[in-house]
Amino acid sequence: MDKNDQSKILAVIEFTPLKDLTQTERDKINSVTSFLYKTKQFVNSVSSSSRSWGGYMWVIGWRKSSTAFELIGRYLNQDAINLAPDVYEAVMKLSEGISDILGNMFHKLSDVAFKDTQTLMLKNHIPGFASLEFDAPLNKNDCSPNLTFTTSGFFNPPHVDSKDISEFAFVLFVPININDGTLVSESDDYSVTGGDFVFPYYNCGIDFSEEVGIVKMVWRAKEVRHCTLPSIDTPFHTRMGMSLQINQKL
């Protein structure tokens, strides 16, 4: 809650230990993280120092295009796509299912925030990140034009997402295997340290050290200052974070 307004909720956070995940939940999370692992070869990592101080960040979906006479474009590495067009097509065919899984997680965690975000997309004719055509109609769980994800000890400076046009953002943190992006198992020696997600002004945040599991959160990203602290990966494991929100740049 906002310490200056006790009636205002700033974040809703849900932690699920690995041991409490159902097989269906594991399968869905694996689908998401494995998909994102495969997309890395077809998108360029974000190099802006204002967004990343270390580790890697990628974005898939729609953005305002830097190409002349093209208003809307996708975050793509065209050279990589040209080298493996069949692989790219096969991967992108999975995106609709991934969007559905993540949107459903967002919807279940905060129905109000999800509906507000989707209404904003409908009103402004914003495509879902899984749409391969800009004017494709939204699916029932579409809630963002792009999906940002991070790995490899990613950390960044304290900031607010002031250029967001959505009030809320959804984020999912997952412990994964470095070699293929799959969710770690209970028998794995997962020992990634650090990487807390914090709200400096409120002296609180998400401490991932208590138990290995997944974390879902909906929060006021454009209003509340936040950052990810440095983490130390192991040779076999890292933490993947992914977020859905609507930015002015799409």
Angle between helices 23-39 and 95-109 (to 10 degrees): 130
Does the structure show a pLDDT above 60 at 104? yes
- As a whole number of angstroms, the distance between CA 142 and CA 131 comes to 9
**CB-CB contact of 131 with 155 (8 Å):** no
Output 219 or 3, whichever has higher pLDDT: 219
Please report the pLDDT score of residue 70 as a whole number: 44
Please report the pLDDT score of residue 68 as a whole number: 43
pLDDT tens, position by position, 202-213:
999 999 998 999
Confidence of residue 46 (pLDDT cuts 50, 70, 90): confident
Average pLDDT in the chain: 90
Neighbours of 113 (CB within 10 A): 22
pTM over 0.75: yes
pLDDT tens, position by position, 114-130:
999 999 999 998 999 98
Give domain limits for the chain.
11-244
pLDDT tens, position by position, 56-72:
999 998 876 544 444 44
Task: Output the CATH code of domain 11-244.
Answer: 3.60.130
Backbone angles phi and psi of 231, in degrees to 5 = -130, 165
